Structure 1
Amino acid sequence: MSTRVFIDGAAGTTGLEILERLAPRNEFELIVLDDVQRKSADARRDAYHAADFAVLCLPDDAAKEAVALAEGSKVRIIDASSAHRVADGWTYGFPEIVGREAIADAVRVTNPGCYPSGFIALVAPLVRAGLLPADWPYTVNAVSGYSGGGKALIARFEEDRDIAFRAYGLGLGHKHVPEMQKLVGLSHPPLFAPAVVPAHRGMIVEVPVPLSAMPMAGSPEVLRLALVDFYTGSAVVTVRDDRPDELLLRGSMAPSDKLELWVFGAADGSQARLVARLDNLGKGASGAAVQNLNLMAGLPETAGLSL
């Protein structure tokens, strides 16, 4: 018997990409609502009660309402919104960081944010290893393709080809910051500086670290090897050993569920740049949801992923 999956919000960017990954797979039976049913609370409630798993691809308030609709059912939920990322009773859906067993056993999983996926992947292992301090005021410089901004931002970039760079979150207090701080275990919220460029997908997240002011950090190579050790055996996260002169985001980037990490260091070892590259719609959203679904359903972790 196939596992029944309901994607609530399957018409949005994240939902469509999850649907593309799941549709060819015979392990799952997808519960699909038509345009009228998607607007009906009763139809959605029935779908939750009929499903084994549900993936929420909704705005935050709608995701909270969806959880209420699912009350009384046995459905296990993956929420791709930011509504529950630091909420009690929810497991953070980053198996490489929280453990695959935690995801496999969870009833409620909250998908990581795209930018936090890069930051947490870089910094959490190094803080855990005692190489980077938990009480440092970290800065996160990041740039993403415009598809992560939803339909309005996608339309804006595709209609106005003159936009070359969009810095945002200038009022600080971005909604991604709490999960970055909590999952890494930081004393201070990181200073988050996000931007969007005219590429449909792709993301680079960078954390500069002044190693000369961090006595326990060691050299950039020590940091890299610690990441290599942490992610040994992962089919999704790769710690690169090359040193390219530049990292590019191309407008023609194909969908990918990989997460690549680099440590670039100054010749004298006094500074380093920790860099993550990922697809904001892959490991940053839909790919992560499918990875979590696989684990929760007892299936191979990377089934259906583009690696």
Structure 2
Amino acid sequence: MRRSVFIDGAAGTTGLEIRERLAGRAEIELVTLPDDRRKDPAARRAALNDADFVVLCLPDDAARESVALIDNPRTRVIDASTAHRTAERWCYGFPELEPSQGALIEGAARVSNPGCYPTGFLALVRPLVRAGIVPADWALSVHAVSGYSGGGRQMIEEFEGDTVPTAWRGYALALAHKHVAEMQRHARLEHPPLFLPSVARTYRGMVVEVPLPLHALPRRPSIDTCRDALAAAYDGSEIIRVAADDRATVEVEEDAGTDRVTLRVVGNAARGHAVLIATLDNLGKGAAGAAVQNLNVMAGFATTAGLVL
């Protein structure tokens, strides 16, 4: 059965990539508006209510406005903005997060796509909290670097402009990044993690790192214990894999251009130090790839249809 999909905000970075991924799929009919009607309220309302699925690729306030225009109970929504990631009555669109999460997404009318940074953080941390290896009240910190495409059109133009930009830029130094609440809630932590994001001069790709002082944790877990817990959590997943290698380096572009997430646990056993590391594509599993995966789950399509693995 064909399903109609309207991408509200299809001209942005994430929207364009989702559209490219869905174009040509026989089971999907893409609903589009002419350029001169994209901002016409009546045309948008009609498209939002006529489609089986709506994917919102908009700023937060605009995403809320679009949801308010939908009065057809048949229309199901995937929101790629930050607007509903901690909102009540919205299902969090990370199928691998909990054993039952995929089933919840399959039956949901409103699904919020995870952020790119939280995807890496939650993939690393949530299984260890669930297993009792990391206490829910532990003070966690997370350091991450993303490709500049995660900053949208303005940052892309800046990094690709005539003025040569910096190779690396840290930001959100007031430690109040909008993704922190999402990380805390869905990892089920008692305290917000200390989050330091940054951007590198590469178009796409991401590394997320969570240091763990194993010697200070109540159960004093080993590196292998942490790695085994992650491997058990994602056993059978086609998207999230746990690497067993002991590589000396990790690259920000390791999973760029794919919808994979690669997890590693590395460290110094003698000192009781470990670092949890996730690599992913900020536009893949961190954005467009996650939206396509959620659409597949909600519509009953093959989970990895349209994904690059």
TM-score scaled to structure 2, two decimals? 0.97
Give the structure 1 partner of residue 61 of structure 2: 61
For the residues of structure 1 that align with 2:154 and 2:109, how far apart are their CA atoms? 32
Q: Check whether the contact 2:9–2:56 (CA below 8 A) recurs between aligned residues.
A: yes
**Which residue of 188, 206, 221 corresponds with 1:185?**
188
Residue 232 of structure 2, aligned match among 229, 232, 250 = 229
Superposition deviation, residue 253 in structure 1: 7.2
Corresponding residue for 1:27?
27
Pairing 1:167–2:174 present:
no
Q: Distance in 2 between matches of 1:273 and 1:254?
A: 21
8 Å contact kept, 2:3–2:27: yes
Contact 1:91/1:109, CA 8 A, preserved across alignment: yes
Given that 1:52 and 1:75 are in contact with CA atoms closer than 8 Å, whether structure 2 keeps it comes out as yes
- The 5 A counterparts of 1:97-136 are 97-98=97-98, 99-136=101-138
Moved over 4 A (4+): none
Q: Distance in 2 between matches of 1:254 and 1:87?
A: 30
Q: CA deviation at 1:216?
A: 1.5
Partner of residue 138, structure 1 = 140
Shift of 1:166: 1.0
* CA 200–253 in structure 1, closer or farther in 2 if over 3 Å, else same: farther
**How far does the alpha carbon of each residue in 1:131-150 deviate from its partner, in whole angstroms, 9 at most, with x for none?**
11111111010000000101
Q: CA RMSD in A?
A: 1.2
- SS in structure 1 of the partner of residue 275 of structure 2: strand
Partner of 1:2: 2
2:53 aligned with 1:17? no
Residue in 1 that maps onto 2:306: 304
Q: Secondary structure at the match of 1:7?
A: strand
Q: Do the aligned residues in 2 keep the contact of 1:103 with 1:292 (CA within 8 Å)?
A: yes
Instruction: Quote the offset at 1:10 in angstroms.
Output: 0.5
Partner in structure 2 of residue 71 of structure 1: 71
Q: Does the C-alpha gap of structure 1 residues 254 and 220 become closer, same or farther in structure 2, counting only changes over 3 Å?
A: closer
Q: Quick check: 1:138–1:207 contact (8 Å CA) kept in 2?
A: yes
The answer to whether the Cα contact below 8 Å between 1:37 and 1:43 also exists between their aligned partners in 2 is yes
* Aligned 1:210-221 pairs, distance under 5 A: 210-221=213-224
- For 1:107-154, what per-residue CA distance to the aligned partner results, in whole angstroms no more than 9, with x for missing partners? 000000000000000000000000111111110100000001011111
Aligned residue number for residue 256 of structure 1? 258
The question of whether the paired residues in 1 share the 8 Å contact of 2:158 and 2:165 is answered with no
Distance in 1, matches of 2:32 and 2:209, equals: 39
Tell whether the 8 Å contact from 2:2 to 2:29 is kept in structure 1 after alignment.
Answer: yes
Question: Is 2:42 aligned against 1:42?
Answer: yes
Q: Is the 8 A contact 1:18 1:289 kept in 2?
A: yes
SS at match of 2:42: helix
The 5 Å alignment of 1:278-289 reads: 278-289=280-291
Which structure 1 segments of 5+ residues have no match?
Answer: none
Partners of 2:198 and 2:221 in 1: CA distance: 31
1:147 aligns with 2:149: yes
In the aligned structure 2, how far is the partner of 1:59 from the partner of 1:181?
A: 22
Gapped runs of 5+ residues in structure 2? none
Q: CA deviation at 1:254?
A: 5.0
Corresponding letter in the other structure for 1:152: Q
Out of 207, 210, 214, the position equivalent to 1:207 is 210
What's the secondary structure of 1:166's corresponding residue?
Answer: strand
* CA drift at 1:269: 5.5
User: Residue 246 of structure 2: SS of its match in structure 1?
Assistant: coil
Shift of 1:265: 2.0
Distance 1:131 1:253 in 2: 27
Offset from partner CA, 1:56-109 (integer Å, 9 cap, x none)? 000000000000111234210000000000000000000001421011000000
How far apart, CA to CA, are the structure 2 residues paired with 1:104 and 1:269? 44
SS across alignment from 1:55: strand
What CA distance in whole angstroms lies between the structure 2 residues aligned with 1:162 and 1:65?
35
Structure 2: distance between partners of 1:290 and 1:15:
11
* In 2: Cα distance, 1:41 partner to 1:156 partner: 31
Say if 1:219 and 1:269, in contact at 8 Å, map to a contact too.
no
